[in-house]
Structure 1
Amino acid sequence: MYMALYNGVLCLASPLISQHMSRRLRSGKEDVARYSERLGTPSVARPEGELVWIHAASVGEAISALSLVDGLLESTPDRHILVTTGTRTSAEIMCERLPTRAFHQYVPIDKKEYVARFLEYWRPDAGLWMESEIWPNLIRETASRQIPTMLVNARITDKSFRKWRRFSGFSRLLFSSFESCTAQSEISADRLRRLGARDVEYLGNLKFAADPLPVDEEALAALSESTRDHQLWLAASTHPGEDEQIVEVHKILSQVMSDLLTVIVPRHPERGDEIVEMASRLGFNTVQRSRDEKITVSTDIYVADTIGELGLFYRLADVVFIGGSLVEKGGQNPMEAARLDCAILHGPHMENFSEVTAEFKAGSGEVEIRNAPELSKAVATYLTNQAKREKIAGNAKNVASKGTEICATIVAKVDHKLKERRS
């Protein structure tokens, strides 16, 4: 009944879905060359032998999955991994970082015919969903084919829990479709059980097991040279409404730090032009990475509107503000900065990473600020006080080093499921 109702609504909404996807294509949010994958049509051949499918929503989840990909490939030498995501940015990063025997495809739109086409072609031997990526047709069609499935590193926020509780019958149908679940926290584990999930285990956060972000050493050397006469801080993965506050921080601090360089990495690189225009209009010497503009001694703000270079800028900066947290976007992942010796600052809105943030808070590895004046004071403190900066960065790195056994435990669970299936 629930799936019939869901698919009936999708059918009625088909014109709106088509219009929405057309807008995404026109705006560059969808990959025109590979759009057929969104309709369930493959763009590469299925490799022979065992295929494990990992689905991750976007960049953060996909990066978290990389350690799992490595572990699954190392466990079984003739195994292949299919990773699906839904965004262009995550696709580009996966195509760059996936190892041999692993490859990327876009996840199909959650219409039954597209999902069926996808599953009938790829015939995965097991499916792993990362965190909280719940697409009803994708889940139910996979389960109907007796493909072993796991919800991995699951995170159920308070908001999501309340939403699913309003549709308890539907949530029970979907969450019980997974043969097992591993949760990021005891709270998420309890919520999963209450939503109908089976075989739920709290392991900890898989994000703790990820490797540091990669870097182009030549680019790092070049930027290190061009910024050596500056005091540099980084605003990473910023959202609309934050960039103006970041520029305000620069305005406040530049009155006492004449050599200050503020680096802004927008969460969505296509916003680079508008950030440059805004900062330049306010009188700041602003240069843009996507246009290959160079940093000089007179540069105030550097807009790094490129994809997949956070590893570069985290290595360049000692003090980092985590974006999406001064506005109500739920924050971005602080783990990546912590692994690379950064002093971490963030706003009050870290709901998307509440468990991770709680770990940092408990370990004295972060500083929460509420607005631009507080951020300017914190940036000044940690830029000018090396001892304080190194202490908070060291605390954050200690937190980020936890959970090295999580990945191995999940790999063992997958191996066991596949062994059962083969026998």
Structure 2
Amino acid sequence: MSGAGLGQLGLWLHLRGRRGGGAALPAIPAGSGPALILHVAPEAAGAEAQVTRRLMKLRPDLRLIRLATAEGADAAEDPDLVARLLDEGKPRALLLLGSALPAALIAGAEERGLPVVLAEARLDAGGGTLGLSLGLESRMRRQLIQRMSAVLVTDQASEAAARRMGVAPARLAMPGPVTDIREPLRCAEAERAAMAAMLDGRHAWFAAALPEAEEDAVLAAHEAALRRSHRALLILAPRDVGRVDALAARIEASGMATARRTEDEDPTDEVQVYLTDGVTELGLWYRLAPVSFMGGTLSGDDAAARHPFEPAALGSAIVHGPETGRHATEWQQLDRAQAARHVGAAEELALAVAELTSPELIAGLAHNAWRVSTGGAGVAMRIADAALEALARDAAPTRSRA
């Protein structure tokens, strides 16, 4: 059987047991404007607000029909409900946010000649989680994604996967992810300029909001950095400012010279570790340090973990451990865009800090991170434009349902 035949068989098997789930139709807004069905996969929930805001600004009369997903259930997989929704709501296009490919919804749209836009997609060219055998599921996913009128992916890996799945280049774009828009942390410019003059020419790196459990790893990494460059400087912001004095004593006992911001001491040339007054001046240190390690990501201490877009927006290359916690989505966006350095364990931190002395490598990571952290509004606009372009097309002739 051909690949297309296997895909059609997979689709038939997938839909066969999903009729008559009993879910209620979503609300269909009244009005004379065009209707657009919006399906949001759980992993793309953070993008929904920005995209819908852009859509409604560009097309105030748009009637947006949200087809909700719930834990373990998706109304867009019920062929009977989808048929009723498409017939009663009379949408002119569909927008899918996320990597889910709801088979019943896509098949119903194709049957009626409706364009479907897939956006904010993070794709794997392999199988998926649709409950079929891997071969049939993979073939079905390929067939479903090839039916999209436009596919907007978040990263290069997803773009490559889409190409391998047969998406035509003319229908494929990589605008990046929709990200939170966050105001950059501020600092006093006069303070930044004075500190920058003091640090001129030194390899400085910053440990942000460091919990006690990660102090050993960070200090060991800095000792390794000092063996490569005796002028290396660690700027350390303990999560608990009350630990500054104890840390200073411990660092001095290990043979490294330290200074404390709490005592109005400066990071002079002989200082090897500079202890800040906690997390009160992060905007200053992110600007000064070419490399920032984000505390809590090695030990999983997520109580006060900082948002990864803080250093990203201020030009600091980012290093993080495997415990991404409540900012897992943002870390995934940065990692997939080659915008952060991931270390799997404490022992790898020293190697990462040593490698991140290359200005070219630091600049590449920092630029990619800045692009991810600041590009959310532009990406949301591109998604809205693609959806409205699909909406403006004349629907193709309705196909027979025989």
Q: Of 331, 338, 341, which residue of structure 2 is paired with 1:367?
A: 341
Distance of 1:146 and 1:315 partners within structure 2: 52
In the TM superposition, residue 148 of structure 1 has moved relative to its aligned partner by 1.8
The CA deviation at 1:373 is 5.3
Counterpart of 1:58 (choices 35, 42, 47) is 42
CA distance in 2, matches of 1:147, 1:316: 51
Question: How far did residue 213 of structure 1 move?
Answer: 4.8
Q: Is the 8 A contact 1:322 1:334 kept in 2?
A: no
> What letter is aligned with 2:61?
D
**Structure 1 residues 197 and 160, CA gap change in structure 2 (3 angstroms):** same
Distance verdict in 2 for CA 1:326–1:369, change over 3 Å: farther
Cα distance in structure 1, aligned partners of 2:285 and 2:140? 46
Q: In 2, Cα distance between the equivalents of 1:337 and 1:121? A: 48
Alignment partners' CA distance in 1, 2:100 and 2:296? 22
In structure 2, relative to structure 1, the CA distance for the partners of 1:181 and 1:109 (3 Å cut) is closer
What does residue range 231-242 of structure 1 map to in structure 2 within 5 Å?
A: 233=208
The answer to whether the 8 Å contact 1:50/1:80 transfers is yes
Counterpart pick for 2:75 among 88, 108, 132: 108
Following superposition, the deviation at residue 155 of structure 1 comes to 2.8
Counterpart position of 1:270: none
Say which of 101, 109, 121 aligns to 1:154. 121
Q: Structure 1 residues 194 and 204 mapped into 2: Cα distance closer, same or farther (>3 Å)?
A: closer
* Corresponding residue of 1:191: 161
Corresponding position of 1:411: 384
**Residue 145 of structure 2 is aligned with which of 175, 180, 185?**
175
Given residue 52 of structure 1, which amino acid in structure 2 is its aligned partner?
A: L
Query: Which position in structure 2 is the counterpart of 1:421?
Result: 394
Work out whether residues 142 and 166 of structure 2, in 8 Å CA contact, stay in contact via their aligned partners in 1.
yes
* 2:181 match: 212
Query: SS in structure 2 opposite 1:175?
Result: helix
Tell me, yes or no, if the aligned pair for 1:151 and 1:182 is still in contact at 8 Å: yes
Is the 1:180–1:199 Cα contact (8 Å) retained in structure 2? no
Cα distance, 1:71 vs structure 2: 2.6
Instruction: Please tell me whether the aligned partners of residues 115 and 137 of structure 1 are also in contact (alpha carbons under 8 angstroms).
Output: yes
- Which secondary structure state, in structure 2, belongs to the residue aligned with residue 345 of structure 1? strand
One-letter amino acid of the counterpart of residue 5, structure 1: L
Q: Which residue of 1 aligns with 2:252?
A: none
| Whole-angstrom CA distance in 1 between matches of 2:37 and 2:214 | 44
TM-score, structure 2 as length reference: 0.52
Judged with a 3 Å threshold, the aligned counterparts in structure 2 of structure 1 residues 335 and 149 are, in CA distance, closer, same or farther, namely farther
CA contact (8 A) 1:326 1:370 kept: no
Superimposed CA distance per residue, residues 71-128 of structure 1 (whole angstroms, 9 cap, x where no aligned partner): 322222212434455358xxxxxxxxxxxxxxxxx95262333444544554433211
Given that residues 40 and 118 in structure 1 are in contact (C-alpha distance below 8 angstroms), is that contact kept between their aligned partners in structure 2?
A: no
1:3 aligns with 2:11: yes
Shift of 1:136: 1.5
Task: Count residues in correspondence.
Answer: 297
Q: Does 1:346 align with 2:320?
A: yes
The alpha-carbon distance between structure 1 residues 412 and 323, as it changes in their structure 2 partners (threshold 3 A), is farther
Asked whether 1:399 is paired with 2:371, we answer yes
SS of the residue 1:113 aligns to:
helix
Kept in 2, the 8 Å contact 1:182–1:202? The answer is yes
Q: Which of 64, 69, 79 is matched with 2:52 structurally?
A: 69
Distance in 2 (alpha carbons) for counterparts of 1:336 and 1:112: 44
- Partner SS for 1:421: coil
Give the whole-Å Cα distance in 2 for the aligned partners of 1:128 and 1:189: 18
Q: Output the CA distance in 2 between the equivalents of 1:65 and 1:260.
A: 35
SS at match of 1:47: coil
- Deviation, 1:149, is 0.7
CA–CA distance in structure 2, aligned partners of residues 377 and 10 of structure 1: 51
The letter of the residue matching 2:344 is: R
User: SS state of the match for residue 13, structure 2?
Assistant: helix
Residues 199 and 184 (structure 1 numbering): CA distance in 2 closer, same or farther, change over 3 Å?
same
Bigger radius of gyration? 2
Give how far 1:325 is off.
9.4
SS of the residue aligned with 2:161? helix
Q: 1:324-358 deviations in whole A, cap 9, x for unaligned? A: 9999xxxxx95587347776333469999778425
- Contact 1:127/1:148 (8 A) holds in 2: yes
The whole-number CA distance in structure 1 between the counterparts of 2:113 and 2:310 is 36
The 8 Å contact of residues 181 and 200 in structure 1, kept in 2 or not, is answered as no
C-alpha distance 359-195 of structure 1, shift in aligned 2 (>3 A): closer
Structure 2 stretches of 5 or more lacking a match? 1-8, 185-205, 220-234, 241-281, 287-291, 301-306, 357-361, 397-402
Question: Partner residue of 2:265?
Answer: none
RMSD: 5.7
Paired letter, 1:204: M
1:52 CA drift (Å) = 2.2
Matched, 1:141 2:108: yes
Match of 1:281 in 2: none
- Identity across aligned pairs (percent)? 18
Q: Is the 8 A contact 2:181 2:377 kept in 1?
A: no
On the 8 A contact 1:185/1:203 being kept in 2, the answer is no
Deviations 1:19-41 (A, max 9, x none): xxxxxxxxxxxxxxxxx8xx243
The aligned residue for residue 298 of structure 1 is none
Q: Is the 8 A contact 1:57 1:130 kept in 2?
A: yes
1:288-313 residue CA offsets vs partner (Å, 9 max, x unmatched) = xxxxxxxxxxxxxxxxxxxxxxxxxx
- Provide the C-alpha distance between the structure 1 equivalents of 2:60 and 2:70, rounded to a whole number of angstroms: 29
Whether contact under 8 Å (2:322, 2:343) holds in the other structure is yes
Return the alpha-carbon distance in structure 2 between the equivalents of residues 214 and 261 of structure 1: 22
Report if aligned partners of 2:317, 2:369 keep a CA contact under 8 Å in 1.
no
Report the Cα distance in structure 1 between the residues aligned to 2:237 and 2:297, rounded to whole angstroms. 27
Q: Read off the aligned partner of 1:64 and give its amino acid letter.
A: A
Give 3-state SS (helix, strand or coil) of 2:151's partner. Answer: strand
With over 3 angstroms needed to count, the CA separation of the structure-2 counterparts of 1:135 and 1:340, relative to structure 1, is farther
Cα shift at 1:184: 3.5
